[in-house]
Amino acid sequence: MLGVELLELWRAGRVQLPALAHVYDVAVRELEGVAHDDADWVTLRRELAGVLDSAGRQVLEAGVAVCVAVARYADADRVAGVEFARLRGDASRSQL
């Protein structure tokens, strides 16, 4: 079950979060395409675009962090598995 959960986390970090970040990127580009002469609107649009851009970058960073955590956990699990196999082998030899 753990491998399946790690795979789902990896997919979240590698696929789903980048897809969400892309939605923010599209929103920023579409927002910047809305022309208007009103100074208040221009200021609001600029601020909103900045917030959306920042959120998108944070989502991408979260995806990278999730993938790093998955890789580190998988590596630690592999090392622990090797050690467990070694100890189990030593235990079975001592029972002979």
Q: What is the pLDDT of residues 3-58, one digit of tens each?
A: 789 999 999 999 999 999 999 999 999 999 998 889 999 999 999 999 999 999 99
pLDDT tens-digit series, residues 43-78: 999 999 999 999 999 999 999 999 999 999 999 989
Euclidean distance between CA atoms 28 and 23, whole angstroms: 9
pLDDT of residue 4: 81
Cβ-contact 13, 66 below 8 angstroms = yes
User: Which candidate, 51, 47, 53, places its Cα nearest to that of 29?
Assistant: 53
Domain that holds residue 36: 2-94
pTM: 0.79
Number of domains in the chain: 1
Q: How many CB atoms lie within 10 A of CB 10?
A: 16
